[in-house]
Every structure is written in structure tokens, then in C-alpha cells.
């Protein structure tokens, strides 16, 4: 049996602390409301699985990538895709940068500090 190895990344981002906006953000992330072009762009970039978790207004995103995933390549593909840019613009109405994010950074990659 051939098992594919995935690399896993973890990212954090905050939502605006407004219950109505948080509800709307979650509505957009239901399967029936997601944009097929955005989902396809995620897959085309080499992301095999993506999950987003929420507690309060803090989001944690976990992505598992195939061997051909490259973060810089994904950023370039996203920048050239008008539909992805429209989605990002829409999502930014609900999101806010973490205080330590660099200028223009949304999702901040997390570093593992413990493993059992």
C-alpha cells in the first residue's frame, strides 16, 4: 500500500468580536455556501485537506499539503485569481489581523511548542 505523506501547517486569525458577524462568517463556510472556484484553487495549490476551528473569535486553520505545495506559489496563484480575491475581500469584512501579524498578513502560521 502506498501512503502519501502530508505536511501539516497550523494558522491563526481572529474574527471581529461581533456575534452577528461570526454567525455570518460560519454561514459562508458551510459546504452549500462555499465558492467552487475557491475550493478548486485550494486543491490546485496542493492542499489535500483544510479544517478551520473556532473558539470565541479566534480561528485555527489546519492544512495538510501534498509534496507539490509551496506557500509562495499559492500566494501568486491567489493574487492572479479574481474569484479568490473577491472571496478574500468578502472574508476580510469578518476578519481582523492578529496584533502581531505583519503588515498585510491575515493568517499567521503557528509554531509547535510541544509534542508528546
Buried b (16+ CB within 10 A) or exposed e, 42-77: beebbbeeeeeeeeebebebebbbeeebeeeebeee
103 is a domain residue: yes
Q: Whole domain around residue 77: which residue ranges?
A: 7-109
What's the pLDDT tens digit per position in 70-96?
999 999 999 999 999 999 999 999 999
Mean pLDDT of the chain: 94
78 is a domain residue: yes
What's the pLDDT tens digit per position in 3-60?
567 899 999 999 999 999 999 999 999 999 999 999 999 999 999 999 999 999 999 9
pLDDT of residue 6: 81
Specify the pTM. Answer: 0.90
114 is a domain residue: no
CATH number at residue 72: 3.30.70.1090
Domain tally, the chain: 1
Amino acid at each position: 500500500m502506498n501512503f502519501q505523506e502530508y505536511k501539516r501547517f497550523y494558522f491563526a486569525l481572529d474574527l471581529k468580536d461581533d456575534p452577528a458577524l461570526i454567525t455570518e462568517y460560519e454561514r459562508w463556510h458551510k459546504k452549500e455556501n462555499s465558492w467552487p472556484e475557491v475550493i478548486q484553487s485550494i486543491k490546485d495549490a496542493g492542499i489535500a485537506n483544510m479544517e478551520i476551528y473556532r473558539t470565541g473569535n479566534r480561528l485555527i486553520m489546519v492544512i495538510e499539503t501534498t509534496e507539490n505545495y509551496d506557500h509562495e506559489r499559492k500566494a501568486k496563484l491567489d493574487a492572479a485569481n479574481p474569484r479568490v480575491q473577491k472571496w478574500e475581500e468578502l472574508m476580510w469584512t469578518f476578519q481582523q489581523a492578529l496584533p502581531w501579524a505583519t503588515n498585510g498578513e491575515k493568517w499567521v502560521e503557528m509554531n509547535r511548542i510541544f509534542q508528546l
